[in-house]
Amino acid sequence: MADLDEVLADVRRGMIPAHIYNDAEIFRLEKERLFSRAWLFVAHESEIPQAGDYVVRRVLDDSFIISRDQSGEIHAMFNMCLHRGMQVCRAEQGNASHFRCPYHGWSYRNDGRIVGLPFHKEAYGGEAGFSKKGQTLLPAPAMDVYNGLIFISMDPEAPPLVDYLGDFAFYIDYYTKQSPSGIELRGPQRWRVKANWKIGAENFAGDMYHTPQTHTSVVEIGLFREPKAEKRKDGNTYWAGRGGGTTYKLPEGSLEERLRYIGYPDEMIKRMKDMWSDAQLEVVGRDGFMISAASAFPNMSFVHNWPKVEEDSDDVLPFISLRTWVPISEDETEVYSWFAVDKEAPEEFKDLSYKAYLMCFGSTGMFEQDDVENWVSLTSTAGGSMAKRLLLNSRMGMLKDDSPVVEALSPEQFAGPGVAHVGYGEYNQRHLLEEWAAHLEQGPVAVKSHQVGVGAEQEGTV
């Protein structure tokens, strides 16, 4: 690989060494320095509503059980038996008071505590030889929750999730806080694409430029009112804290009229008005921007859009989707994609919204298929020898002296936090890669190893 300092310096001036989208050494560094620190979304509380509910989620090379114990508390536990390392839970989701390891039968409560160890006395000499007390499946080094979204971090010293997200949390609320009850999820659908994980995250963060080209056919069949080139460039892209996204410009009108325009029924609008802050309401009602796709660094994305869902009608209906881009290797990504909807939404709205999601961004969604074809092709080309000689220009929105093509919106034009620009630009792709560069510059995270059944922890690094 080319010198890392040079790669990071190029990235920081908006010139991207093409090989970073398919490079084994870069991927090794991403695992060691980025995914070992960042907060990573794994599940939503609504996926495990009852005591005993659990889901199993992959985070790079690790498997975690996300469970709700009998007292309602949520746990994220490394899915590896403390005995000889078998995967304790092999199902993807379910409800269980206990997990029993298939290999030799050690069993654990759904909060991780060991409760059963066959022939404890004969084989280990009982508590004197192996103390079960205080032994649990290894918890994720850090876990935190925002609006029901459960994140884990491999860094026990990770800052609180809200500090990490920073002002991007302002925008997460539009997707996840439309009523006091929050959202419920369906899914996830999971599939793998032969594409580097960064490409999807960048695309969702700020690529309004691709819509009219890549998704021409979706525009042609009239599924949307907005994705046409001239409509998308009226929207803005914003970056705030550790995330950024895209918006559409809505037609003139009051807050209510604008929310009705994208298909929200009045009862949902009423609850949004109660839930959202003055600034959150101003972004829509005063400034006329509605959030669309977004990404939180490093690998979580959001979508909000409003296609036509019925053949003979011009009515549109909004849907929300959450997703993660879980890296498998430098050239493969597992996509987890959930449909999200306000828990208090009318049932008919939920059904139609689900349909809208599936048409657009489910595994067979029309947008999904268009996008992935580009990303697979990009990734495979980035793995060759010529890509190492190419610096891609990711400077859209900036002149040669780094000044902006269009000035950032003032607080009077856009009430949201962060920096926002109307029109096409690659501000957010650059922000995302700046975070990426800042992480890759750091050293490995220190780790403690937990010694099963014999006492104190050991320190070391990975």
Binding interface with ligand FES (CB under 6 A): 81, 83-86, 101, 103-106
- Residue placing its CB nearer to Fe ion in the complex, 159 or 212: 212
Task: Annotate 316-359 with DSSP letters as a single string.
Answer: B--EEEEEEEEEEETTEEEEEEEEEEETTS-HHHHHHHHHHHHH
Q: Which of 129, 125, 94, 101 has the alpha carbon at shortest distance from 115?
A: 101
Shortest spacing between CB 129 and ligand FES, in angstroms: 16
Instruction: Choose from Fe ion, ligand FES, none: what does 310 bind? Cβ within 5-8 Å by kind.
Output: none
Handedness of CA 206, 220, 341, 196 (dihedral sign): negative
Between 45 and 371, whose beta carbon lies closer to Fe ion? Answer: 371
Question: What is the Cα–Cα distance from 48 to 22, expressed in whole angstroms?
Answer: 36
Name the binder of 100 from ligand FES, Fe ion, none, CB < 5-8 A by kind.
Answer: none
Contact in structure between 206 and 200 (CB atoms under 8 Å): no
Q: How many helices (H) and strands (E) does the chain have?
A: 16, 22
Give me 242's structure tokens. Answer: 């550790």
Pick one of Fe ion, ligand FES, none as the site partner of residue 105 (Cβ within 5 to 8 A by kind). Answer: ligand FES
Gyration radius of the chain over CA positions? 23
Shortest gap between Cβ of 169 and Fe ion (angstroms)?
25
Q: Which does 84 bind (CB under 5 to 8 A by kind): ligand FES, Fe ion, none?
A: ligand FES
Q: Contact between 45 and Fe ion (CB under 5 A)?
A: no
What one-character DSSP code corresponds to residue 410?
Answer: P
Least Å from the CB of residue 321 to Fe ion:
12
Write down how long the chain is.
Answer: 462
327 cis-preceded (ω within 30 degrees of 0): no
Decide which of Fe ion, ligand FES, none touches 175; Cβ closer than 5 to 8 Å per partner kind. none
Q: Which is nearer to ligand FES, 124 or 191 (CB)?
A: 124
| DSSP-assigned states of every residue in 19-80 | GGGS-HHHHHHIIIIITTTS-EEEEEGGGS-STTEEEEEEETTEEEEEEE-TTS-EEEEESS
Distance of CA 449 to the CA centre of its chain: 28
> Residue 54 is which amino acid?
Y
Taking the complex as a whole, how short is the minimal distance between the CB of residue 368 and Fe ion, in angstroms?
8
Choice between 104 and 190, CB closer to ligand FES: 104
Closest separation in Å from C-beta 115 to ligand FES: 13
Rounded to an integer, what distance in angstroms lies between the CA atom of residue 462 and that of residue 32?
A: 7
106, interface contact from ligand FES, Fe ion, none, CB < 5-8 Å by kind? ligand FES
Dihedral (CA of 359, 361, 365, 371) sign: positive
Identify what 371 binds: ligand FES, Fe ion, none; CB under 5 to 8 Å per kind.
Fe ion
> In angstroms, what is the minimal distance from the CB of 268 to Fe ion?
26
Site residues for Fe ion, 344-383, by CB under 5 A, read: 371
Measured CA to CA in angstroms, residue 84 lies from 79, 80, 102, 107, 132 at distances of 12, 8, 11, 13, 15
Tell me the closest approach of the beta carbon of residue 141 to ligand FES, in angstroms.
22
Nearer to ligand FES, 100 or 190 (CB): 100
Nearer to ligand FES, 9 or 91 (CB): 91
Residue 60 interacting entry, from Fe ion, ligand FES, none, C-beta within 5 to 8 Å by type = none
Interacting partner of 120 out of Fe ion, ligand FES, none (Cβ under 5 to 8 A depending on kind): none
Q: Which is nearer to Fe ion, 46 or 236 (CB)?
A: 236
Size of interface with Fe ion, in residues (CB under 5 A): 1
Query: Minimum distance from CB of 276 to ligand FES (Å)?
Result: 48
Q: What is the rounded distance in angstroms from the CA atom of residue 137 to the CA atom of residue 54?
A: 14
- Alpha-carbon span 309 to 319, nearest angstrom: 11
Show Cβ contacts of residue 199 under 8 Å, excluding neighbours closer than 6 positions: 21, 375, 378, 379
Q: Check binding of 184 to Fe ion (CB under 5 A).
A: no
Q: Which is nearer to ligand FES, 86 or 437 (CB)?
A: 86
Output the smallest distance, CB 83 to ligand FES, in A: 3
Q: Give whichever of 107 and 380 is closer to ligand FES, judged by the CB atom.
A: 107
Burial of residue 315 (CB within 10 Å: 0-12, 13-18, 19+) is: exposed
Q: Count CB atoms within 10 A of the CB of residue 158.
A: 21
Task: State which residue, 101 or 422, has the beta carbon closest to ligand FES.
Answer: 101
Bond before 139 cis per omega within 30 degrees: no
Query: Which of 102, 346 has the CB closer to ligand FES?
Result: 102
User: DSSP letter at 293?
Assistant: E
- For the bound state, the minimum distance from the C-beta of residue 85 to ligand FES, rounded and expressed in Å, comes to 6
In whole angstroms, how close is the CB of 64 to ligand FES at the nearest point? Answer: 17
Binding site for Fe ion (CB under 5 A): 371
